């Protein structure tokens, strides 16, 4: 399950996803130099809109797609802060595919329901995880964070008030 993973934050400190048990998570592989990078704005708006109702957006940078995230942790943090005012949790850069795939992406792309499986194909692929830590939906890069498709899926898995 997703909540069994411990990631590294951009600040180098461990982030135990078990601490998000009971919350919905939207896990997104992000990049600073991609045509989809403006989605940071929508991700931040989605996070601010739903965080008090139990949604956590988690950004995980990856340089696997066109070398579009070449920055250091400090450069990524500065970019997110100054360009998009990102307040949702950001993790350290990892591999989202290939032989060095990070365990979180191994779980999201290989150890989940058949309909959600498959290699991440590009930046800003989004995985929705329910409050029990089970992946329930996957959205391709082109699906905007504030689209009806994502908003409806998020609202469907938010924890009961």
Burial (Cβ within 10 Å: 0-12, 13-18, ≥19) of residue 1: middle
Catalytic residue from among 10, 15, 34, 153: 34
80 is catalytic: no
Label residues 142-158 b or e (16+ Cβ within 10 Å = b). ebbbeeeebeebbeebe
Spatial contact of 138 and 105, defined as CB atoms under 8 Å apart: no
Give me the active site residues, please: 34
């Amino acid at each position: 399950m997703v909540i069994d993973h411990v990631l590294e934050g951009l600040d180098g400190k461990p982030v135990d996803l078990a601490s998000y048990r009971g919350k919905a998570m939207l896990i997104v592989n992000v990049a600073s130099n991609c045509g989809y990078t403006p989605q940071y704005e929508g991700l931040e708006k989605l996070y601010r809109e739903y965080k008090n109702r139990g949604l956590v957006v988690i950004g995980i940078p990856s340089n696997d797609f066109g070398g579009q995230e070449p920055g250091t942790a400090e450069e990524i943090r500065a970019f997110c802060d100054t360009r998009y005012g990102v307040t949702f949790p950001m993790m350290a850069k990892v591999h989202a595919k290939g032989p060095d795939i990070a365990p979180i992406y191994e779980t999201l792309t290989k150890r989940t329901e058949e309909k959600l499986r498959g290699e991440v194909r590009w930046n800003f692929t989004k995985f929705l995880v329910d409050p029990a830590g089970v992946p329930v939906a996957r959205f391709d890069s082109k699906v905007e964070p504030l689209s009806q498709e994502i908003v409806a899926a998020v609202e469907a898995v938010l924890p009961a008030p």
